Structure 1
Amino acid sequence: MTFDAEIALAQRLADAARAEIVPLFRTGIGSERKEDRSPVTEADRAAEVAMRRLIKAEFPRDAVHGEEFGAEPGTSGRTWVLDPVDGTTAFMAGRPIFGTLIALVVEGWPVLGLIDQPVLQERWLGATGQPTTFNGKPVSTRACRSLADAAIATTGPHYFDDHDGAHFMGLAAKTDHKRMVMGGDCYNYAMLAMGQLDIVCEANLKLHDYAALIPVVEGAGGMMCDWNGDPLHAASDGRVLALGDPARLEDVVAALACNH
């Protein structure tokens, strides 16, 4: 099954989000706190509104699940999952390592994913059965001979509770942790898909945080799973692993299982 029309729409959605986000970048716009205390800005909301408008015009039967405006039901068994600014904190700090995330989920499984960095005009696209592209050209993950050689990334220690943080540090201790990357949100997964990182490990992610990442990473030759090594889907628990080299899966899962 091909997704040509859906890919074309995803590209237009990313363009529409860029048009809302870029003019507000580094302008000092204010933010509010949501119920979970995470920040939200005018850029988040305007970009999601623009994307929802396009989806409803083109695929009115599809459901939409967005970070800022919640779930809008559909009748097709398909859901567009949107995170207009993944990495709002980075956006507010003027750091161009946030991204717009767009995914198409069919019966709970992501089949199309797009990561867009609007300021740098960088775009990664992945879809089932197709190689992942970066600005239209195929990219691939890199081989990793051993866990000790692996460069690991995570958005930040404050996203782990004490229990999960101990397991993460157990994994990090077995990697080349002098190259550990902190910060990055979705941008870390894009870098993994391009062969710049080997492992991304996170917890407490929601569907809009990870759905778009899966087709991008897997279409580049990597894999994404939960901390047990099971495939990610709409009901996963938010503990997320991305591996550039799937051969390291057993090593990573075993290292995570050790409680330090």
Structure 2
Amino acid sequence: MRAAAHAAVDEAVAILRAGRDRPLDRIGKAAKDFLTEVDLASEAALKASLAKATPDIGFYGEEGGGADLTKGRVWVADPLDGTINYATGSPLCGVMLGLLQDGEPVLGIIDLPFLGTRVDSGAVQDVDGFDEAIVGMGDAFHQGGGERLDAYLRLTMEVHRRALRFRCVGSAAVLWTWLASGNIQGLLLAHNNPYDVVAGHAIARASGAVVTDYAGAPLTLASKGTLAAAPSIHSDLTALAGDLAART
């Protein structure tokens, strides 16, 4: 299965590279969000490659949906994570492919083609305290509005104030990769969309990270938000996220 997953990601990455230097049509998805023909072509390539290599495993993609995520084995794909980055020329984007077994992440691959990085495992880097940690956070617009958004923005300020450094790069693929590679010590996403989380969850957990919801409970498909960190700062990050957890 791992070989089939890597081969499928290879095909998707080739599509991202080929589409890099040509004008792209922007297809509206929601407020402040869009997809492109590259997203669609990448997802189609992933789905076709995996259907051929692993016909007994279901498929769920960001753009087309698919199989029931809670039953059996299902591939979960984000064919182009960081679409806005990609469409505006930033290298901070990638392909994410994860495998669920009865709703539990068991395998993940993330490729950042314009950073020359692919991970399916790693090793998180502990630090001596939160003031020595680098923490990444996902884009706030995923929170919608109201009290939840306000709590997320307040948390962003607290993390920025207390951590060694704060990162917001517009791509969950990049944050998961950096966590597993020891470049950051924690991350917090504004949601728990499976295509943004399953691959990273499997990789981060295998790399020694603690992966939970905002309140520190085990992360599941039903969770309302995603938090992952090196063991040394996980409790600090969940403590800071307490207000957000209460309003989510």
Q: Same fold (TM over 0.5)?
A: yes
Q: Over residues 139-164 of structure 1, what are the superposed CA-to-partner deviations in whole Å (9 max), with x where a residue is unaligned?
A: 42211111121111123343441233
Q: What is the deviation of 1:169? A: 3.1
- Structure 1 match to 2:168: 182
- Structure 1 match to 2:226: 240
The residue type equivalent to 2:178 in the other structure is M
Unaligned runs of 5+ in 2: 144-148
CA distance 1:89–1:246, change in 2 (3 Å): same
Equivalent residue in structure 2 for 1:165, among 147, 153, 156 = 153
- Structure 2 match to 1:136: none
Q: Is the 8 A contact 1:108 1:235 kept in 2?
A: no
- Structure 2 match to 1:209: 196
Secondary structure of the residue aligned to 1:250 is helix
The residue type equivalent to 1:51 in the other structure is L
- More displaced, 22-31 or 78-87? 22-31
- Structure 2 match to 1:140: 123
Counterpart Cα distance in 2 of 1:35 and 1:171: 28
The residue type equivalent to 2:242 in the other structure is A
Alignment of 1:1-260 (within 5 A): 6-35=1-30, 38-72=33-67, 77-125=72-120, 132=121, 139-160=122-143, 161-176=149-164, 179-185=165-171, 186-237=173-224, 239-243=225-229, 245-258=230-243
Secondary structure of the residue aligned to 1:166 is helix
Secondary structure of the residue aligned to 1:224 is strand
Counterpart Cα distance in 2 of 1:75 and 1:204: 18
Counterpart Cα distance in 1 of 2:187 and 2:136: 5
Q: What is the deviation of 1:172? A: 3.8
Q: Is the 8 A contact 1:174 1:255 kept in 2?
A: no
CA distance 1:258–1:205, change in 2 (3 Å): closer
Q: Is the 8 A contact 2:137 2:188 kept in 1?
A: yes
Counterpart Cα distance in 1 of 2:243 and 2:30: 34
More helix by share: 2
Q: Over residues 197-239 of structure 1, what are the superposed CA-to-partner deviations in whole Å (9 max), with x where a residue is unaligned?
A: 11111212411111100121122222221111122222221x1
Question: Runs in 1 of length 4+ with deviation above 4 angstroms?
Answer: 73-76
Q: What is the deviation of 1:60? A: 2.2
Q: Is the 8 A contact 2:111 2:118 kept in 1?
A: yes
Q: What is the deviation of 1:76? A: 7.0
TM-score (normalizing by structure 2): 0.88
Q: Over residues 75-102 of structure 1, what are the superposed CA-to-partner deviations in whole Å (9 max), with x where a residue is unaligned?
A: 9711100000011011011111101000
Q: Is the 8 A contact 2:5 2:50 kept in 1?
A: no
